[in-house]
């Protein structure tokens, strides 16, 4: 007979319910207490014993029999305070809270080290996709050079539907909200904050450096139009919200923004609410991890895996899972300013339909040291203006921004409809 390991659960929403259902299959785990906001709420959990529910999380934190605290509440408060007290009481932590780890990981991991406990967070990055442990353990023999991923299912669903239906962003966003894929306030998803938390975590473990979340460049998808998606497709690309981190030597290039992804790239085929992470290492080359990035059971799968990893070690050693302990020093990584990055670019310009306009655009780009890969007029729109699309070769962001500013000031230019980086 296995000795049961007592755990406490903070939160019983979608993910928390999935965790209870998954862990009920394991006879070495006892969910002793679950902290909830509303004790009378109906729960979609068969045979749930109401006596294990409490609206006082301190009961979990202060119970010496509870060895593992699972936090699936989300947000910063009260989660940060509850986890802090749990660590101080010698409890191991499992969390699905990417915002908490991205913003307060440094303090929490240092506190965990002091109290000889482990914090595991597989579910915080990409739902059901195993990615944290593979980077820490399976890919430990590699010097990782780059990570690029689709880390937000909501934005990926929106961009997929915009492509399939030719619909505007706002229309598809409303559809995603009706289906439960997007929150009532979708800012965290569509403006890139959610993906930024996740790439901050992945960067931290892949490059073994602390990441200041406030230094990560973030740009969302609300300015992407059906015509941008159409033009990208014609040029052999898909538009995706990409979270990217790459080693530039003395700096790390970490950012989140839409990109034109070549159709031959593995990320281009990731559609709907699926997530995927591509990791490039010197020994393994390029590998991709893909699957459901959210949802009750996918996320619960990762949480349960972390619970069982710790539970299997607790009675065997006084120093469980050393490989998952934080080994960072106290210094933050130097993050490359977005203006110093180099990329290829897609520039969508609306101009007057006059002779010499295309030549003028090319001249301006040349003036700023930008080589054009392609420049195409995409017909005449209803107001008799021309839509011109430029694809550039690799150039420095600050040079592109200077060129775009000069282009926008030309009297023949009506608008810069979009500027999107190309993978």
- The answer to whether the peptide bond before residue 78 is cis (omega within 30 degrees of 0) is yes
Cβ proximity of 351 and 394 under 8 Å: no
Q: What is the dihedral of CA 260, 275, 192, 181, to 10 degrees?
A: 120
Going by C-alpha positions, the residue among 96, 83, 91 that lies closest to residue 117 is 91
CA-CA distance, 155 to 163, in Å (whole number)?
12
Angstrom distances, CA of residue 192 to CA of 153, 246, 256, 295, 322: 11, 18, 6, 19, 33
**Cα dihedral across residues 231, 272, 183, 84: positive or negative:** negative
CA-CA distance, 7 to 330, in Å (whole number)?
31
CA-CA distance, 39 to 41, in Å (whole number)?
6
Catalytic residues: 198
CA-CA distance, 196 to 189, in Å (whole number)?
10
Q: What is the dihedral of CA 326, 208, 278, 267, to 10 degrees?
A: 100
Cβ proximity of 346 and 391 under 8 Å: yes
Q: What is the dihedral of CA 134, 104, 186, 347, to 10 degrees?
A: -70
Cβ proximity of 131 and 104 under 8 Å: no
Cβ proximity of 27 and 52 under 8 Å: no
Neighbours of 55 (CB within 10 A): 11
């Amino acid at each position: 007979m296995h000795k049961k390991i007592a755990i406490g659960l903070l939160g019983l929403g979608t993910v928390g319910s999935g965790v209870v259902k998954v862990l009920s299959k394991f006879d070495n785990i006892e969910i002793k207490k679950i902290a909830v906001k509303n004790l009378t709420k109906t729960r979609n959990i068969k045979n749930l014993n109401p006596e294990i529910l409490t609206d006082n999380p301190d009961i979990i934190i202060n119970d010496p029999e509870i060895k593992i605290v699972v936090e699936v509440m989300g947000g910063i408060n009260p989660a940060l305070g509850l986890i802090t007290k749990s660590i101080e009481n010698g409890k191991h932590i499992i969390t699905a809270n990417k915002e908490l780890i991205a913003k307060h990981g440094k303090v929490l991991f240092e506190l965990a080290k002091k109290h000889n406990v482990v914090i595991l967070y597989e579910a915080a990055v990409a739902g059901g996709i195993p990615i944290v442990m593979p980077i820490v353990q399976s890919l430990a023999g590699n010097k990782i050079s780059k990570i690029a991923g689709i880390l937000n299912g909501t934005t990926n669903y929106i961009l997929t539907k915009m492509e399939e239906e030719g619909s505007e962003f706002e229309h598809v966003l409303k559809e995603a909200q009706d289906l439960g894929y997007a929150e009532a306030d979708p800012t965290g998803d569509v403006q890139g904050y959610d993906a930024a938390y996740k790439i901050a975590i992945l960067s931290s473990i892949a490059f073994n450096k602390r990441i200041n979340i406030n230094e990560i460049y973030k740009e969302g998808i609300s300015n992407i139009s059906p015509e941008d998606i159409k033009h990208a497709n014609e040029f052999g690309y898909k538009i995706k919200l990409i979270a990217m981190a790459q080693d530039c030597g003395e700096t790390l290039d970490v950012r989140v923004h839409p990109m034109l992804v070549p159709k031959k790239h593995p990320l281009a085929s990731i559609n709907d609410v699926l997530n995927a992470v591509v990791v490039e290492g010197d020994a393994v080359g390029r590998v991709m991890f893909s699957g459901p990035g959210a949802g009750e059971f996918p996320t619960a799968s990762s949480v349960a895996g972390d619970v069982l990893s710790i539970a299997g070690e607790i009675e065997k050693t006084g120093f469980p899972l050393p490989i998952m302990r934080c080994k960072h020093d106290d210094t933050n990584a130097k993050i490359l300013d977005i203006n110093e990055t180099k990329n290829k670019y897609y520039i969508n310009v609306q101009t007057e339909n006059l002779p010499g306009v295309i030549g003028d655009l090319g001249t301006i780009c040349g003036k700023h040291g930008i080589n054009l890969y392609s420049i195409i007029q995409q017909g005449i729109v209803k107001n008799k203006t021309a839509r011109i699309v430029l694809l550039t070769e690799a150039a420095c962001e600050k040079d592109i921004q200077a060129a775009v500013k000069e282009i926008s000031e030309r009297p023949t230019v009506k608008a810069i409809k979009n500027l999107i980086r190309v993978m």
